[in-house]
Amino acid sequence: MAAKNILHMLTPHKHVSPFDVNMALDAGYDSVTPYEDVTMEDVADLVQDVIFSRPPDRGVHSAVFFGGDDAVLALDMIETAKGALVPPFGCNIMADPAGSFTTAAAMVALVEKTLKDKMGKALSDVSIAVFGATGVVGYCAAVISALEGARVKIVGYSGLERVQKRADEMKERFGVTVKPVDGSSDEKNTAIIADVEVVFSAARAGVQVLSLEQLQTAEKLLVAADANAVPPLGLDGIEVMANGEPIEGTNALGIGALAVGPMKSNTEQGLLKRMIEAKEPQSLDFRDAFQLARSLVS
């Protein structure tokens, strides 16, 4: 009998995300089981229950998925899960907390494509300001961009302290240097975008980060992307459906949240399918999501 593809979906929250459950079943999983209120201390035991219940050659048909809304916790859970494997017993491991790994991957990939196709530039040629960088989407967008060689500023709407901690954490975990900056006023934000070519807005839904007037002052701006689809949008002047449309009064192009959304869904589903189809167990985080999103947009 063919082995069933079984996904165990773990979250530190009260509920797993129905979005992720639907994605997994539509990707082809035969079974998706939710585990809620999962702590770091629970992870190793759960993973070992997954792997020891099937012969080693069926490990590739078992998967553990980490949700939640904390990128750092999800990355730590991946590491703990990997450490709990006992070769030859293994399983697939993936995280996408609050959809952030695949959303950030999709947003950065769309910007990269726009820069390349319309301006002949790479991420390594540009300076980027990331708004909402203490959140999960902003965190991943900043790290992916920095790993690709971009010069990245992470903007703290509540001041410097929390983004400084984020920058230190990114350096320690990924070896990337990003610059924390104080974005606690409109004037400071206008100054922050004066010398960047790219803006990522990944602030809380329904919060406007930059007005159109502010964007119009950013003389070097080439591309701006917004993850927020809930009015008011994060970046004024960029329609939710925009996918490389001009931003009025600037030389820049805009990417809206509903251009990011379908690419995000295709990326998440693609990673889930990869785990189903793989011949060897996979371990997937936002770096894998970015490589896939990059291939999907081109």
Ligand X SMILES: NC(=O)c1ccc[n+]([C@@H]2O[C@H](COP(=O)([O-])OP(=O)(O)OC[C@H]3O[C@@H](n4cnc5c(N)ncnc54)[C@H](OP(=O)(O)O)[C@@H]3O)[C@@H](O)[C@H]2O)c1
By CB under 6 A, name the binding residues for ligand X: 69, 98-100, 103, 132, 134-138, 157-158, 202-205, 207, 209, 227-229, 257, 260-261, 264
Based on CB atoms, which residue is closest to ligand X, 27 or 84? 27
At its nearest, how many Å lie between ligand X and the CB of residue 103?
Answer: 4
Q: Residue 285 Cβ, how far from ligand X at the closest point, in Å?
A: 16
Q: Which long-range contacts (CB under 8 A, 24 or more apart) does 30-34 make?
A: 30/4, 30/5, 30/6, 31/4, 31/5, 31/6, 31/7, 32/7, 33/6, 33/7, 33/8, 33/9, 34/9
Instruction: Give 98 or 275: the residue with its C-beta nearer to ligand X.
Output: 98
Output the smallest distance, CB 160 to ligand X, in A: 13
Residue 91 vs 167, nearer CB to ligand X: 167
Which residue has its beta carbon closest to ligand X? Answer: 135
In one-letter notation, the amino acid at residue 166 is: R
- Please compute, for residue 171, the number of CA atoms within 13 A of its CA located in the half-sphere on the CB side: 12
Of 62 and 145, nearer to ligand X (C-beta) is 145
What is the smallest separation between the CB atom of 48 and ligand X, expressed in angstroms? Answer: 30
- CA–CA dist 101, 168 (Å, integer): 20
Smallest gap from residue 136 Cβ to ligand X (A): 4
Residue 89 CB, nearest distance to ligand X (Å)?
A: 34
Compute the distance between CA of residue 98 and CA of residue 69 in angstroms, rounded to an integer: 5
At closest approach, how far in Å is the CB of 99 from ligand X? 4
- Structure-token match 């793989």, residue found: 278
H or E segment to which residue 71 belongs: helix 71-84
Q: Closest CB to ligand X among 47 and 202?
A: 202
Toward ligand X, which CB reaches closer, 34 or 99? 99
Round to whole Å and give the CA distance between 149 and 122.
9
82/204 with CB nearer ligand X: 204
Instruction: For strands 223-226 and 253-255, give the pairing.
Output: parallel
Q: Buried b / exposed e across 55-87, counting CB within 10 Å, b at 16+?
A: eeebbbbbbbbbbbbbbebbbbbbebbeebbee
Element (H, E) at 272: helix 257-277
Q: Which is nearer to ligand X, 48 or 190 (CB)?
A: 190
Closest approach, Cβ 68 to ligand X, in A, equals 11
Buried b (16+ CB within 10 A) or exposed e, 128-153: bbbbbbbbbbbbbbbbbbbbbebbbb
d(CA 43, CA 215): 45
Query: Which tokens in the block code for residue 33?
Result: 């089981």
